[in-house]
Chains A and B, each alone.
Chain A
Amino acid sequence: MSYLFNTPEDLQQMLEAIGVGSIDDLFACIPPSLRLDRPLQLPPAMGELELSRHMSALAASNRCAEDTICFLGGGSYDHFIPAVVDALASRGEFYTSYTPYQPEVSQGNLQAMFEYQTMVCQLTGMDVSNASLYDGGSAAVEAVLMCLSATRRDGNVVVPASVHPEYRQILETYLINLGTQLVTVPTDDGVVDPDALAAVVNDRTACVLIQHPNFFGCLEQVEAVGRIAHDAGALLVQAFDPISLGLLKRPGDLGADIAIAEGQSLGNPMIFGGPYLGIMACRDQFVRRLPGRIAGQTTDRRGRRCWVLTLQTREQHIRRDKATSNICTNQGLIAVRAAIYLSVLGPQGLRQTAEQCLQKARYAMQQIAASQRFEAAFAAPTFKEFVVRDTEDRVTQLLRDSCQHGILAGVPLGRWYPQWQDAFLVTVTEKRTRSEIDALAKVLADGGRAV
């Protein structure tokens, strides 16, 4: 086995030093009745060459965004990743290190965390960021849990149906054990009607969670919703799309108390859903309720500026069952990737990316809607994705046929919204070219039959 070191001589010397006759003796502490009395039933070992062949064949049998044209979104996006991100993040000193519990030999990670936190604050207009959570969905649920404790209200949590359906499923999974009700406000027009939302927010509401741009790509009236929440003594959590902030007002400027996001789009491949990045930032007053690790600035004994993990008394290894969360391992490397990505883009690069997404998505919508068969499902303005209604109501077949022609045309909505079996979500990132968009419009107009 190539990763092991011990030679037969080493083994003998080590056993002698320990004072046992065999390796088996070292396992004498496990009663025979509790041991496995047969080999594991697993395929035999593969050498590197065999494994490479095996994995390459499996990978090649998938169809991916590199050999198709991808218009899929809904929280995972085919944005461009500059080479710098992979080159830097694949340095062993980053990816083979552990949590910076020994700051003297972890300044690289700590400083990168501190820079990431700063960039998240710059991006969101919030006061503080943690060093990452697992993904957008777990950031959503952690934000809601923060609100339950900050408001000391556990009656209900209000969420428009335009929030990512998986986030809402996660919330349901968690909240059922805490006795808090999840109240879903319908969004028949693709956005939430503030009056309808106001009708269910009450003095037992801990928070309203709104997504802007929402799951359908539509812009919500965040400030109006925030006022409703705040008037009732509840908090406002906003889920945002990091790329959209190249153009849109920031959560901090819209009145959000906590801002959360899926950070995959900041320099990370789609890789079927993970590892991704849970972004979370909040206002100063909630900092002691933030879950997860935080890097903080301090000085060493010689007065030099340096970084450490700080406010650890919030965390599980100190506070155990009173901790703000159970999170330990986070998404450190993905946060570093996000920091590198944002450094490469800078404010202008982010704006340019956001603008191209907007322009191309709008162009795509116009091209698709040129066909009699399709129409935009909602009137609300959209950013980089939009919902298309198929008046012939044959979405499954249409998408499958488009795929045959090498175009991943969209995400069907029916699986989460039974009333919208005839609709699908189309996403256009800056990577898509005019000719690709034209090909999409054509394949759809032709009913998925030809390009």
Chain B
Amino acid sequence: MRNQTSMRLIFELSRSGRGSTVLPPLDVPEQHVQDLLPPDSLADAPPPLPEVAEPDVVRHFTNLSTLNMAVDTHYYPLGSCTMKYNPKRNERLSSLPGFLHLHPYQDEETLQGLLQVLFELQQTLGEIAGLPAVTLQPAAGAHGELTALMIAAAYFRDLGQQRTKVLAPDSAHGTNPASARMAGFQTVTVKSTRAGFVDVDDLRAKLDDSVAVFMITNPNTLGLFDQQMSQIADWVHERGGLIYLDGANMNAILGIARPGDFGADMMHYNPHKTFSGPHGGGGPGAGPVCVRRHLGDYLPAPVVSRHGDRFTLEKLPPKSIGRVRSFFGNVGVLLRAYCYLCTHGPDGLRRVSENAVLNANYLLSRVKHFLPVPQGDRCMHEFVASASKLKKETGVTAMDLAKRLLDYGFHAPTVYFPLTVPEAVMVEPTETESKETLDAFAETLFRITGETAELLHEAPHSTLISRPDEVQAARKPVMRWTSE
């Protein structure tokens, strides 16, 4: 049934002279291009793009799409990514012409409806975070981290303090240390305990007056809430540092606990995770940042404010770090988040987290019997199992399990993250899945652990392709098609 041409590249479908005309004839007096632009600025020919007919394009990309697993088609328990259902109403309502066709430099007076949405979104995110000053500008979680760290840098510059270090636990996502470096800091890694929490002795040993920020993910990347949180915040604050919370795991605590109340000074959200913005095959996302009021002066511009019943864009507050991207931000993603938040309201959001945590604990209770979960038998919205023992006994790795799950029609969990768990299998069921799906997943995973190593090393067997040779791809990288 598979369309045999679907794996051809669009360039291989190209025939010189084929293509579609899209534009009506020019309706202004035509002048010689050579008279309008300097001849030496002009190309001899337009770029050698593929020449295909419109029906080709439709069939090609439609067939390509069917080669993907997606939330709309499959269960996707990808830890840390919160692959929840992406509501169709959000797609429709974020694409209303009155939003879609707004130019970023329109006069504020023509944008009041949009600015109201963005203002209310700022308020809502601030309330859920317990951190009232909000910027919607960052384009993804990592960009939010960087924005917050640049705010911290500006804040300490203002105070005349030389703080050069950012601390982050070894279980942190890779974006944390990478963002710290881009903000000009040196990153220092803090160890985790065997139980999966911040090793406070190591933290205290590394905490001194040169530390600007401690970045913590809580619930952490093991899916555990670190109870030492307020104690840690006290220590960091006593030393004059700030606490940054990586909010990738907010799906566990909406309306239950607020980062601002448990010690964080700054945080980002991933609306493409927590607030159901679809992941788009890798993006776009957004990375709103919330900070304490006294850090609000440093937020990048523009921020939306309200004056009576008018909404305005504040250009550049005096202490602002400036800009972190062009225009306002990933508005399309923010509109979806707004729709999601309106759909749920305060009770609904709490129920989202309750069900996310219930589903994760239920799945954990089924999985832990055959795949050890080193950090205990309770979790928040996700848990991390380890295939370490399996590997020792049979040679079967976390990757093998992941690949075999694909054969059974499940997207794989996140594997080999966090780095602190050997052969990590990180499962985040999300709240938008049924008990039947969780049962089926657990049963399948159990069944796989009983399959032979030979079978698993070669998995997947039923997908369009088998395992790609990644070593070859990296050794002799081919990153574009060429006609030869």
Contacts and interface: CB of A to CB of B under 8 A. Distances in A.
B323 A137 contact: yes
14 contacts: A3-B431, A26-B357, A34-B227, A34-B262, A42-B127, A104-B468, A108-B64, A247-B43, A273-B326, A273-B329, A299-B469, A301-B458, A328-B173, A355-B33
A92 B72 contact: yes
B326 A100 contact: no
Contacts of A375: none
B326 A167 contact: yes
Contacts of B128: 40, 42
Q: Which of B83, B128, B141, B178 counts the most chain A CB atoms within 10 A?
A: B178
A187 interface: no
Contact of B283 (A106, A132, A311): A132
B160 interface: no
A296 B104 contact: no
A414 interface: no
Contacts of B97: 59, 64, 66
Interface in A333-354: 333-334, 336, 339-340, 342-354
Given A30-B257, A297-B478, 9 more contacts: A1-B348, A19-B365, A42-B349, A102-B411, A111-B7, A166-B326, A272-B102, A360-B28, A408-B103
A134 interface: yes
Contacts of A271: 99-102, 331-332
A39 B332 contact: no
A29 B182 contact: no
A329 B327 contact: no
Interface residues of B, number: 200
A356 B30 CA distance: 9
A11 to B, nearest CB: 7
Contacts of B261: 34-36
A124 B43 CA distance: 11
B53 to A, nearest CB: 9
A304 B101 CA distance: 43
B324 interface: yes
Q: Which of A15, A60, A78, A296 counts the most chain B CB atoms within 10 A?
A: A296
B337 interface: no
A29 B256 contact: no
A219 B145 contact: no
B72 A96 contact: yes
A316 B339 contact: no
A332 B284 CA distance: 6
A328 B49 contact: no
Given A108-B68, A179-B184, A344-B57, A349 B22 contact: yes
B46 interface: yes
A64 B355 contact: no
Interface stretch (B107-115, B237-245, B447-455): B107-115
Given A55-B339, A102-B406, A331 B283 contact: yes
Interface string B247-289: 0000001111110011000000010100000111111110000
Q: Which 6 A-B pairs have the closest CB atoms?
A: A273-B327, A59-B98, A333-B280, A45-B345, A92-B72, A332-B282
B412 A6 contact: no
Contact of B140 (A15, A27, A329): A329
Interface string B332-352: 110000010111111111111
B466 interface: yes
B22 A82 contact: yes
Nearest to B69: A105
Given A91-B65, A109-B68, A30 B49 contact: no
A232 interface: no
B427 interface: no
Contact of A316 (B57, B178, B359): B178
Interface string A166-187: 1101101110011100000000
B61 A340 contact: yes
Contacts of A105: 67-69, 74, 406, 411, 460, 463
B469 A34 contact: no
A379 interface: no
Interface stretch (B87-95, B198-206, B389-397): B87-95
A301 B103 contact: no
A248 B26 contact: no
A272 B114 CA distance: 9
Interface stretch (A114-122, A195-203, A443-451): A114-122
B225 to A, nearest CB: 5
A297 B473 contact: yes
A189 interface: no
Contact of A310 (B332, B349, B473): B473
Contact of A42 (B230, B341, B435): B341
A166 B325 CA distance: 8
Nearest to B27: A434
B326 A136 contact: yes
Contacts of A343: 10, 49-50, 52, 56-57, 60-61
